[in-house]
Amino acid sequence: MNSLFAYQELIVFDCETTGLDPVRNHVIELACCLFKLDNNQYVLKDKIDSLIRINYSLPSNIVGLTGITDEDLRIHGVDEITVATNFYETFIYNSSNKKLFIAYNAPFDIGFISEMLKRYNLSFPKDANYLDVLTVFKDRAPYPHRLANAISFYQLDDKFKNSHRAIDDCLASYEVLLSMGKDNDDLVNYVNLFGYNPKYPPINRITGVRYKPLYYGSSIKLY
């Protein structure tokens, strides 16, 4: 991943939620891993994995997908403000190093985390840089494009799985990214470039990010 070496910190994150709408629904689990550049390689330096309490019962489909239950949140969950503040102080405000925020289907996770931070007058930096691993995978491999498909495509099934638990998916996304870099180290070209299904153009766009329609089966690169 030499093409990313301009970034001293890679911040890989994933969240599980109560639904698909970041305004009406909430994050119930947030994981984040901080990789710092050290002697021309990224080394895991810090991580969080937190369940977050909510004041209503989880939808049955979310329990089925994630395995997270109301009891898990009641016993092991912490207040949202604690998680939001910890995320901000540990991964955003921690240093002046140049950072790259990374996720699989980044627009989804960014939308939810942004709404969570906003409730406590916090936010991602206005000049933040983002890399969507899903966009890269869609540009390189045929449909389907779930994280589980990317794990299999790069022959990582013996080490990782798409468990729909935040820390597992966070680490799996990073390993997929590593494999992508070994396969073709053009990852820097995807920074702040989000591909989308032309049938569903994005409504809430992130400042500084370029959005391009990604047509399935096309051999034309996004960049």
CATH code, domain carrying 168: 3.30.420.10
Instruction: Tell whether 95 is covered by a domain.
Output: yes
The total of structural domains in the chain comes to: 1
Instruction: Tell whether 221 is covered by a domain.
Output: no
- How does pLDDT run across 160-204, given as a tens digit for each residue? 888 899 999 999 999 999 999 999 999 999 999 999 988 889 988
* 51-55, 130-134, 150-154, 199-203: least confidently modelled range: 199-203
Instruction: Tell whether 193 is covered by a domain.
Output: no
Q: How far apart are CA 29 and CA 37, in angstroms?
A: 27
Angle at alpha carbon of residue 208, lines to 202 and 214, rounded to 5°: 40
In this prediction the pTM is 0.95
Instruction: Tell whether 196 is covered by a domain.
Output: no
- How does pLDDT run across 51-78, given as a tens digit for each residue? 999 999 999 999 999 999 999 999 999 9
Instruction: Tell whether 202 is covered by a domain.
Output: no
Domain that holds residue 13: 2-134+145-186
| One-letter amino acid for residue 119 of the chain | R
Instruction: Tell whether 218 is covered by a domain.
Output: no
Instruction: Tell whether 124 is covered by a domain.
Output: yes
Instruction: Tell whether 15 is covered by a domain.
Output: yes
